[in-house]
Structure 1
Amino acid sequence: MATIFLESKDNPKIKHLRGLIEQNTYRKKQGQTVLEGTHLCLAWLEKNRKLNSLFTTEKSLTNPEICDILDLYQGSVFVISESLYKDLSTLGTTLPCLAIIDIPSSSKSVDFEADTLVLENIQDPGNVGTLLRSAAAAGIQQVICTKGSAALWSPRVLRAGMGAHFSLATYENIALEDILTRFQIPVYVTSSHNATNIYEQDLTQAAVWVLGNEGQGVSDFALANAKAVTIPQPGGQESLNVAIAGSICFFEMVRQRQ
């Protein structure tokens, strides 16, 4: 394992790293993204996936969590200053650990008979990552994102997903009109208008969950091609956060199946 010290923020490797952290168009062009934090890096390596390069600080090289990563990693370690790491990091005060990976491309087609989460124009990275985390925990196998949703493999969504990405089949920039009517299983949307109580539904079989934009909800097309369900809110609030609403739906499904 080679240890290489990088001092300048203008070093090409640092510029490449910064571009992947900050720019979605650059990530798409390069086909790469960044994992930040030891948890994500270890989760990735434990799936027998490859880190292309690893960045940390000199002080952190002997940290036990970094050492656990180094035990599984065969490439070069780039050592940067604490100040440069803080300038690059999106996490703030955390153990310095940044890794570049290739963005996986799904090798299989959408399964139109499997539990599925469809994200329609959900834009907040935290919401998207949380929904992926809940979906994976509930046993959902695949996630489909329409154009306009937050990029699934952005560092912020990856951070919120806490490794959920690594056990899901993911598809991005899919037109809802191209896939929704092809499913051979029930399709549900969350809505407060003309909807039926989710707790009155039979969710024991595979299903599709369509969740919509934080402010506008699902599209008219989704409403016309799915069954609308609502979550009772006796406290009288106007609406639930989309990630919370989705998680409630997923785990009502789990509850019924157990």
Structure 2
Amino acid sequence: MPTIFLESRDNPKIKHLRGLIEQNTYRKKQGQTVLEGTHLVMAWLEKDRKINSIFTTEHALAHPDFEEIFSRYPGTVFVLSESLYKDLSTLGTSLACLAIVDLPTNTPALNFTEDTLILENIQDPGNVGTLLRSAAAAGIEQVVCTRGSASLWSPRVLRAAMGAHFSLHTYENIELEDFLKQFKIPVYVTSSHEAESLYSKNLRKQCVWILGNEGQGVSDFALKHADAVCIPQPGGQESLNVAVAGSICFFEMVRQRL
């Protein structure tokens, strides 16, 4: 296993790594992103996907988790000082492991007859990642993000999704008005106003779920072109976290289909 020690913050490889971690525009320009943590890196390798480079620390190299990673990754490992790694890391306490990978480029065309999750202007990376994780677990394979949503392939969303990306077809920066009417299956939005109970709907066949902004909910366009459902809340809370609400919807769908 070849290793190269990098010490300077001004090293071109460190600057490239930092740009991918911090800047969405740089990730798009380079066609790359960063996976952080050995769990995420192993999930990527288990899908037989290529890693371009790995960054870690001398202390972490001796950890058993790296043995399996290095058995699948033949390239050079870049070793950073603890202080330099902490300056780059977004996790803080996990085993030091940052991997640069290429963004997927072979996503098939959107299928308008299959289960689909649409995220409309959801901005919190944690919420986006959790929704992707729940969608994948529920068997939904298509996820569409409109403009204004958190970047699907940002390190923070990747971390929250815990590898869900790798079994999903994802589409970003799309205007809802450009494609929503093309679906040939029921479309549902979550709403607390003038909506029927989620549990009154027949969800046994393919459908579309639209989840909206954390504060403002879904747009008027989405409400106009979809069937609004609400989640009964006997406790009287005004609303649920969007990732919690979406997960409840997905698994009610799963329950009905079992």
TM-score (norm. length: structure 2): 0.99
1:107 deviation in Å? 2.9
Is 2:252 the partner of 1:252? yes
Paired residue secondary structure (2:78): strand
Contact 1:142/1:169 (<8 A) preserved? yes
Residue number in structure 2 paired with 1:144? 144
Partners of 1:120 and 1:55 lie apart in 2 by 34
- Unaligned 5+ segments in structure 1 are none
Count of matched residue pairs = 258
Any conservation in 2 of the 1:40–1:162 contact (CA below 8 Å)?
yes
- Report the 3-state secondary structure (helix = DSSP H, G, I; strand = E; otherwise coil) of the residue aligned with 1:110: coil
Q: Which residue matches 1:114?
A: 114
Structure 1 runs (4+) greater than 6 angstroms displaced: none
Q: Aligned residue for 2:7?
A: 7
Map 1:1-258; keep pairs closer than 5 Å. Answer: 1-258=1-258
| Cα contact 2:196–2:229 (8 A) shared by 1 | yes
Aligned to 2:100, what secondary structure does the other structure show?
strand
Secondary structure, in 3 states, of the residue corresponding to 1:51?
Answer: coil
Counterpart amino acid of 2:198? I
8 Å CA contact 2:107–2:170 kept in 1: the answer is no
Q: For 2:15 and 2:235, locate their aligned partners in 1 and report how far apart those are by CA, in whole Å.
A: 50
| 1:99-136 deviation digits (Å, cap 9, x = unpaired) | 00011124310000000000000000000000000000
Instruction: Give me the whole-angstrom Cα distance separating, in 1, the residues matched to 2:230 and 2:179.
Output: 23
Secondary structure of 1:33's aligned partner: strand
Work out the CA distance in 2 between the residues paired with 1:71 and 1:60: 16
* Counterpart contact for 1:54–1:78, Cα < 8 Å: yes
SS class of match (1:214): coil
Q: Secondary structure at the match of 1:109?
A: coil
Q: Give the TM-score normalised by the residue count of structure 1.
A: 0.99
Amino acid at match of 1:18: R
Which residue identity lines up with residue 125 of structure 2 in the other structure? P
Greater shift in the superposed pair: 122-131 or 66-75: 66-75
Give me the whole-angstrom Cα distance separating, in 2, the residues matched to 1:190 and 1:24.
Answer: 29
CA distance in 1, matches of 2:190, 2:105: 29
- SS for the counterpart of 2:179 is helix
Deviations 1:50-86 (A, max 9, x none): 0000001111112110111111001110000111111
Counterpart Cα distance in 2 of 1:178 and 1:106: 21
Distance in 2 of aligned mates of 1:72 and 1:80: 21
Instruction: Supply the distance in 2 between the matched residues of 1:169 and 1:203 (Cα, whole angstroms).
Output: 22
Cα deviation digits, residues 29-62 of structure 1 (max 9, x gap): 1111000000000000000000000001111112
What is the DSSP-based 3-state SS (H/G/I as helix, E as strand, rest coil) of the residue aligned with 1:117?
strand
- Contact kept, 8 Å, 2:145 with 2:172, in 1: the verdict is yes
Partner of 1:189, secondary structure, is: strand
8 A Cα contact 1:106 1:171, kept in partner:
no
Identity %: 75
The separation in 1 between residues aligned to 2:233 and 2:105, in whole angstroms, is 39
